[in-house]
Structure 1
């Protein structure tokens, strides 16, 4: 009887142990399934990321190929632009040097003319630079009698001194402008102030050519009448100032336009 009880107890223990082992193994299997499911999910996620990276990489490769073409075209365009800028910079430098040279020449002309005209009163002859040109303004009384286009004896002294300087600069053009006040001219020799101003300019130009040997190709005669005053014509002093002859020294026009011509136009 006692032996039977021991056997029953042993069987009970084995049964309990089996049950415990069963549940333990079942828990491990469940955990393994869970881990496997997690691994599968991770794999799928990694696969998706890999597909995305492959797609992105393909797009980048395509973009790089396009960029290579664009870069070559862009590089060539930039090169051409830099070359053009270099040409323009050289042109600007050259133009600046020529403008500086012209300014230096104008300053030299002014100094030489003032030195040559030193014994003539400043109020009768004024030498200055205006608009990039040298202007010699000669009072009416030094060259002409009132209302006349014939040079007086004193004019030779003035024109001789000016011609000495002009002959040293044969590359420059010389324009002679006649100016009057606004009082209408009266007389049989001239029709009006236009006529008087042009005749006076022509007389001076002819004298510079015939007596002082300036090339006629350099000379220009112009009449401005009363329409370019430098003083108030409503006063006697103003009208006296406006009655003048101006000799304008300027670069030859073809050289002047060549000076301003850009490299693109020059080619």
Structure 2
């Protein structure tokens, strides 16, 4: 711009010497007009340059935001993919658990069916109509409860001849279920017992159990199926407050239950079948 002014001044000096005053005034006015146009153009140029810089800054900002959005989208896609994979794995795990539970429920249902058949067999063979003999299921286990007056004389652990008729029927049922065990469980009332060689009610309850086991063994029951147990007076049916109640508490229970190792074998077999089915 300085160059333009210098040229203009130079031109005016040169022209002033060879043009009239009117012509000089006209030239001077045109110069002023040119300078105004130049100044206006310079202002507009600076404004455009400022707007361009601001636009470029916004463009760069938008590029950065777009890049961030693309990165976020990629991360979200990856996360969604991993989430879907994990969800599928979780569903497969749940399906496997449901299948295991179903198989175990089936095994327990079969066990319950065997238990029901066993109860029916006991009731048919032993004679449920006898008030001194009770056949029942307790917590999934079949048992016969026999009043001691059918098995022993008072204070004795020697099995009576009358008892052998009942025990013959018990032996028949046990023999028909070789895959089960039979626990012979003796119970007494709370009257203290001490008669040599026995020391107390514990001894009496166990001795009565082993006496019945020996009779069952004589009747052909596999001794490997039999378990001797005594509970003394600590699991009464009713309170030992009357002679009648004491009589109820003096009893022998024959508890029939599946062999534990066979039960675990059955569960293990079901698990192997499940794993084979998944492969």
Alpha-carbon deviation of 1:219? 1.6
Distance 1:192 1:53, change over 3 A: same
Equivalent pair of 2:147/2:251 in contact (CA under 8 Å): yes
Question: What whole-Å deviation, never above 9, does each CA across 1:122-158 have from its counterpart, x for those lacking one?
Answer: 3x01111111111210000111111211111121111
1:225 aligns with 2:237: no
Alpha-carbon deviation of 1:46? 5.8
Q: Which residue of 2 aligns with 1:62?
A: 71
Aligned length: 245
1:198 aligns with 2:206: yes
Please identify, of 175-184 and 254-263, the stretch whose mean Cα deviation from structure 2 is larger: 254-263
Q: Which residue of 2 aligns with 1:256?
A: 263
Equivalent of 1:130 in 130, 135, 138? 138
Distance 1:214 1:81, change over 3 A: farther
1:163 aligns with 2:171: yes
Secondary structure of the structure 1 residue equivalent to 2:256? strand
Name stretches of at least 5 consecutive residues in structure 1 with no aligned partner. Answer: 1-21
Equivalent pair of 1:116/1:162 in contact (CA under 8 Å): yes
TM-score normalised by structure 2 residue count: 0.72
Distance 1:225 1:45, change over 3 A: same
Provide the C-alpha distance between the structure 1 equivalents of 2:208 and 2:160, rounded to a whole number of angstroms: 12
Q: Which residue of 2 aligns with 1:188?
A: 196
Q: Which residue of 2 aligns with 1:148?
A: 156
Secondary structure of the structure 2 residue equivalent to 1:136? strand
Q: Which residue of 2 aligns with 1:89?
A: 98
Provide the C-alpha distance between the structure 1 equivalents of 2:160 and 2:171, rounded to a whole number of angstroms: 17
Please identify, of 35-44 and 88-97, the stretch whose mean Cα deviation from structure 2 is larger: 35-44
Provide the C-alpha distance between the structure 2 equivalents of 1:255 and 1:43, rounded to a whole number of angstroms: 88
Name stretches of at least 5 consecutive residues in structure 2 with no aligned partner. Answer: 1-32
Distance 1:42 1:146, change over 3 A: farther
Q: Which has the larger radius of gyration?
A: 2
Q: Which residue of 1 aligns with 2:118?
A: 109
Distance 1:53 1:226, change over 3 A: same
TM-score normalised by structure 1 residue count: 0.75
RMSD: 3.6
Alpha-carbon deviation of 1:81? 2.5
Alpha-carbon deviation of 1:76? 4.1
Equivalent pair of 1:87/1:263 in contact (CA under 8 Å): no
Alpha-carbon deviation of 1:168? 2.1
